[in-house]
Amino acid sequence: MTPLATAHIATQSTPSGVEACAVCHSPGDELSVERVHRVR
Protein backbone atom coordinates (compact mmCIF):
# COMPACT_ATOMS: atom_id res chain seq x y z
CA MET A 1 0.00 0.00 0.00
CA THR A 2 1.34 3.42 -0.89
CA PRO A 3 1.87 6.21 1.65
CA LEU A 4 -0.85 8.19 -0.14
CA ALA A 5 -3.34 5.33 0.21
CA THR A 6 -2.42 4.91 3.87
CA ALA A 7 -2.99 8.62 4.52
CA HIS A 8 -6.32 8.50 2.68
CA ILE A 9 -7.53 5.60 4.83
CA ALA A 10 -6.30 7.25 8.03
CA THR A 11 -8.14 10.50 7.29
CA GLN A 12 -11.37 8.75 6.30
CA SER A 13 -11.62 6.51 9.38
CA THR A 14 -12.45 7.32 12.99
CA PRO A 15 -10.37 6.03 15.91
CA SER A 16 -13.18 3.55 16.65
CA GLY A 17 -12.92 2.09 13.13
CA VAL A 18 -15.90 3.71 11.42
CA GLU A 19 -15.07 4.36 7.77
CA ALA A 20 -16.44 7.19 5.60
CA CYS A 21 -15.60 5.49 2.29
CA ALA A 22 -19.18 5.69 0.98
CA VAL A 23 -19.03 9.49 0.96
CA CYS A 24 -16.83 9.33 -2.15
CA HIS A 25 -17.07 5.66 -3.09
CA SER A 26 -20.81 4.88 -3.05
CA PRO A 27 -21.93 1.66 -4.76
CA GLY A 28 -22.54 2.24 -8.46
CA ASP A 29 -20.59 5.52 -8.59
CA GLU A 30 -17.70 6.08 -10.99
CA LEU A 31 -15.35 5.90 -7.98
CA SER A 32 -17.13 3.05 -6.19
CA VAL A 33 -15.04 0.78 -3.97
CA GLU A 34 -15.77 -2.07 -6.39
CA ARG A 35 -14.33 -0.11 -9.34
CA VAL A 36 -11.48 1.64 -7.55
CA HIS A 37 -10.24 -1.46 -5.72
CA ARG A 38 -11.32 -4.00 -8.36
CA VAL A 39 -13.17 -6.27 -5.95
CA ARG A 40 -13.64 -9.68 -7.52
Each domain of the chain, given as residue ranges in start order, spans 3-36
Give the model's pLDDT for residue 40. 54
Q: Render pLDDT for 8-39 as a digit per residue (tens, 0 to 9).
A: 888 989 989 888 888 888 888 888 877 877 65
Calpha distance 18→15 (Å, rounded) = 7
For the whole model, what pTM was predicted? 0.54
The set of residues, in sequence order, having a beta carbon less than 8 Å from that of 31 and lying 6+ positions away, is 24, 25
Q: Identify whether the C-beta of residue 25 lies closer than 8 Å to the C-beta of residue 31.
A: yes
Question: What are the beta bridge partners of residue 19?
Answer: 13
The pLDDT assigned to 3 comes to 92
